A and B are shown apart, each in its own frame.
Chain A
Amino acid sequence: MPALTPTRPRRLSRRVALVALAAGVGLVVTGCGSGAAGGTPHPTPLPDPLLPDLEDERRLLAAYEATMAAFPSLVDRLAPLRTNHAAHVAALARAIGVPRGARPSSIEATMATPGPDLPIRPDTSGATGPPGTTGPPGPGPGPATGIAGTPESAVAALRQQERDAMAARTESAVRAAGPRAALLASISAGSACHEAVLGW
């Protein structure tokens, strides 16, 4: 008989989130052999369909970093959401099994961030301008364009990016299946929650 008792902690502690983040960064940097799909020995596998989602989440993470650097008054409010996005990046990288140094050219072309090295730092208090996010805004609907103006306009820009991310992850989830669909759906729902919180 279904009980109303929850089966998991209602929120991830900051410590746990940061540990997960650190683990994710390690995966990105060092690669994860066990995560490679099917253990295929071929050196040139097909691009993973999750790669655009990973790059999009990286852009969103960079947008939070840049906004927090530009507006220190927003740091307390945005830091928890930024931590969530860092966890999304780590989870997608883990699901893909991003190999060391691999950056397919098809993904390179979609990059809107200035450089490949995102400052994924566990310290969210630093508002001293993270390196790598202060370059010129990228092309297209780049998140970095949102750091101009006022704190209010910057938050509005992040809200729009969360809406876009929610829609994009939803479509990816519908196209995927199994655990990957579930992961993408959770990330989509996370963006919906962020969008709501930014409006409160």
Chain B
Amino acid sequence: MVSNPDPLDALQRTLAAEHAAVWGYGMVGAVLVGQQRAAARAADTAHRDQRDLLADLVRARGARPRTAEPAYEVPFPVRSAADGELLAGQLEDRTAAAWHYLVGAADTADLRRTAVAGLTAAAVRATRWRWIVTPDNPTVPFPGQ
């Protein structure tokens, strides 16, 4: 564990995770249909909003927001709806972990509140995607950890 994490670094990391999520949902949306596609589109919009919010927070600290990478490494080929749902859950877990890190690094109450909200939103979306894959137990004890 890193001691005394830097809030600006944590903001940039979370921003990077949101960039990756937006990119990833492009792949997810391409293989889903109907209700799941709508859910992916809503999640994509939420991640774009979070990305823009984080960029503003980075700028407010006098730094330049990280930009998106041209492409990202995907852990497995995404060819089916099941692949897309699995990837979506992993994208949300990844962003939840970034927001969780930001909670611990935050140096103001406002930033902590923002980070808790970001963690919670990603965790609930992750749970929803997992629920499709493993409906018996889609939850984890400590989202983001």
Interface of A toward B, CB cutoff 8 Å: 1-8, 10-12, 17, 20, 76, 80-81, 83-84, 87-88, 91, 166, 170, 173-175, 177-179, 181-183, 185-190, 192-194, 196-197, 200
Secondary structure at chain A's binding surface: helix, strand, loop or mixed?
helix
A18 to chain B, nearest CB (A): 11
Q: Is residue B60 within 8 Å, beta carbon to beta carbon, of the partner chain? A: no
B25 to chain A, nearest CB (A): 11
A4 touches B72 (CB 8 A): yes
Chain A residues with Cβ below 8 Å from B130 are 10-11
What does the 1/0 interface line of B3-36 toward A look like (CB < 8 Å)?
A: 0000000000000110110001000000000000
Q: Is residue B51 within 8 Å, beta carbon to beta carbon, of the partner chain? A: no
B123 touches A4 (CB 8 A): no
What does the 1/0 interface line of B106-145 toward A look like (CB < 8 Å)?
A: 1001001101100110011011101100101111111111
B69's partner among A2, A173, A186, A188 (CB-CB below 8 A) is A2
> A176–B9 Cα gap in the complex (Å)?
20
B142 touches A4 (CB 8 A): no
Q: Place the interface of chain B in its size category.
A: 35 or more
Chain B residues with Cβ below 8 Å from A83 are 141
B112 touches A6 (CB 8 A): no
A190's partner among B16, B24, B90, B142 (CB-CB below 8 A) is B142
B19 touches A197 (CB 8 A): no
- Minimal Cβ-Cβ distance residue in A for B133: A10
B20 touches A193 (CB 8 A): no
Q: What are 29 A-B interface contacts by the 8 Å CB criterion?
A: A1-B69, A2-B17, A3-B72, A5-B73, A5-B75, A6-B90, A8-B93, A11-B134, A11-B140, A17-B141, A87-B142, A88-B141, A170-B120, A173-B116, A174-B112, A175-B109, A185-B100, A185-B103, A186-B119, A186-B142, A188-B116, A189-B119, A189-B123, A189-B124, A192-B124, A193-B126, A193-B127, A193-B138, A197-B138
A4's partner among B90, B112, B124, B134 (CB-CB below 8 A) is B90
> A182–B5 Cα gap in the complex (Å)?
12
A179's partner among B17, B24, B90, B104 (CB-CB below 8 A) is B104
Chain A residues with Cβ below 8 Å from B54 are none
Assuming the contacts A80-B136, A190-B123, asked whether A178 and B104 have C-beta atoms less than 8 A apart, the reply is yes
A182 to chain B, nearest CB (A): 4
Chain B residues with Cβ below 8 Å from A178 are 104
Chain B residues with Cβ below 8 Å from A76 are 136
> A196–B100 Cα gap in the complex (Å)?
19
A122 to chain B, nearest CB (A): 14
B120's partner among A5, A6, A183, A188 (CB-CB below 8 A) is A188
B72 touches A190 (CB 8 A): no
A10 touches B90 (CB 8 A): yes
A172 to chain B, nearest CB (A): 10
A186 to chain B, nearest CB (A): 4
B116 touches A190 (CB 8 A): no
> A5–B87 Cα gap in the complex (Å)?
9
Assuming the contacts A2-B72, A4-B20, A7-B97, asked whether A80 and B109 have C-beta atoms less than 8 A apart, the reply is no
